[in-house]
Amino acid sequence: MKILLVDDEKINALSASRLLEKKGYKVVVASNGQEALDRLDESDFDCILMDIQMPEMDGYEAIERIRDEFVFGEKSKTPIIAMTVHCYSDAFEEFRRAGIEHYICKPFDFTNLL
């Protein structure tokens, strides 16, 4: 499984990518939404782990662009899991409207991540 991991916090990205790689996943890291779009344009992914709050282009804007079928075709259907500190009762519904299939709370438990 090939995963696009998008997170502006280098420590988070490094620890999550190393854990996922140890479990046999191929991981490509992007540090903001624009880099995520560039990586998705270059390659196919089975899943995208997307931080929501990032500089330059946040997760919501990146997801909105990824979900544009005219730009990304079949890639626009790639499952997206948000990684966020915003874990409140209505968060999941808000994320679903934004095109996110699931979310995990930061700081995340690596068992939940896997």
C-alpha distances in angstroms, 109 versus 51, 87, 112?
15, 14, 5
Q: Where are the beta strands (DSSP E) in 31-75?
A: 47-51
Spatial neighbors of 28 by CB under 8 A, at least 6 apart, are 2, 3, 4, 5, 39, 43, 45
2-36 pLDDT, tens digit each: 999 999 999 989 989 999 999 999 999 999 999 99
Tokens of 62: 């990146």
Residues 55-106 have pLDDT tens digits of 888 888 999 999 999 999 999 999 999 888 777 667 677 777 778 888 887 7
* Residue 19, token pair as written in the block: 């854990």
The pLDDT tens digits of the residues spanning 38-63 come to 999 999 999 999 998 888 888 889 99
Q: Report helix, strand or coil for 47.
A: strand
Residue 100's pLDDT is what? 81
